[in-house]
Structure 1
């Protein structure tokens, strides 16, 4: 039973969907495979957005289980979708539902970031101009949007000012259910009262659950197959551990006065693109002012970064348009402390996208980081030019097939 459902008196949701309080076990992959063989994907537009959906009958009712919600029962595929964070947004785009999104946190940021990557996927585009910026969410706005599902984690919502179990129940009952998982990003401790209900998942497990909600098991399986093939290619060519570089994943404040470091090999989907590559995390044992996520991330200064002395410096921010990579390189080279860092001296400072990633970013960022860390094995990273899309990489040097991914998202050839 979910934490916010403990005092429920009875089902009050509109007939569109209803909630079931019992947590049901079952295999994610088995559930998706069952869908893949029997459910045709909805008709798709050229941008990968759903244009129509077949009407459903009572026999079409289906349920999906994920922590911390428990089991949610649906009577038809959701058409209007509220969401907040980037990993869920990414999953919806991957399932051809980018146009169904009616809200997200910082839509301008996400649009700027995703346009860089989607440029390389033919026929896949987004337009999130003017969407409601949904963190922290307004209960009144949720009524106004009248979504069919809230793809957001209720345990995360519970940490926002003005939200409690009664508010979560009210929206779930009167508007639409919650269905999302966010704290798996760093396996962050759930807020008070949610510990017994919370389970951590991998990025692709969450994606599989979201795919079940939209009855898109075939798309999930196809994209998961692309990722598995890429990981097999990477694993077959990784150098021995003693020959791998040390690396640090960092974010500089826009003022340049602060540096934040992130654990590259820690459990959770925030590290889903770095952990499989097995590089030595230069910040694994770094001690700084911890913040958030139980100390998995640390606040650095230039001396601590020099002490860590990474061979490769991976910098968050430039691909979202919030930082200029050339400026960062110049600042590091001009600073009397950071100029001594090996990555600075050897010119191995590279742009990264975002830690809060879904399947699309995960595919691109795994390829990108593999090339940045291991150019001899996977080909040279061509570099990122500020403001430009994800760089063009010759087909023979790509670690996954762009056209295949685009076709899966848009439904081409189905």
Structure 2
């Protein structure tokens, strides 16, 4: 592996190209790494694992969350469901309000509307919660199945998979816990009460077919009510809940572009040190990990210095070209004047062009000076880092030499 190639393309860096290689290492190779470096790699692996899982989970949830929903449509459906509920439950509530005289029917409809709304609303929430829990459990089962079929080959791959489990547990923890079913108990209790009353009323009619037909007839409005609850859950509630989950997952989607140049450099340096620990140095010049780090820094800052010098030259050339183009266009920009002879017009134009040229040259000088100062600071910083890295490399070499002499003396 060439040092000069190890940090090429910093502006287009993708973390996954490193984490993918790291996960393929053998456990015996990982055990050779310094504890600090291995901990840093694990942090990056965990971040990448969470990011990939969050992206996949968002894509899965978006299939339902992106369904078009309208608050107006939702309100209309709610109103229609409440009216139907009032009609459905009024048969039962009329038994309770029969002695109220003239207000018996309005009272029965009002009470039925409340009961029906509770059944429809609590039923919708119950169905939605069950669907969410099912989705979460299916996702966990898929992860468990993947582990069984592809057991982790090293602790990095294990860390990667555990980070996915951990994120699922963190974001969707509520779907793993069984709460007391208040909504389903309320909806079920009211539904059962209405069914009993409806069955009693139907039984009084003496329909042909006996109890079976009477039971079916009593259950029809109840079934329609729960079908409506399922429709609202699928159309309105579930997309809203999935959208909430997507918003919770989004911060975990890691964008490599958000890394600073220094952070990317440290990742490349970490990978370079890992390669040295596993493969050594083919040239024989790098003796230990300290020298490997220092040599990476030397190559890195030499490369950056060269890039800054090229950028400075390119920007200065562009400025010169723009300046030349601006001066060329000056005669065409001279304000038109009337009442002047050709000689007078030419003289005025020449004088104006000279004035504008001096102004443009002054601006050019200031911009050139600013650019030179800006890039001089960057280049000087690179030179300082190169010097520091060279001193670090020399110190690491002396330590290696000292340790080697001690071993020889001991033998």
> By the TM > 0.5 criterion, same fold?
no
Specify which structure has the higher proportion of helix. Answer: 2
Which band: TM-score by shorter chain?
under 0.3
Higher relative contact order (CA 8 A, sep 6+): 2
Using the size of structure 2 for normalisation, the TM-score is 0.19
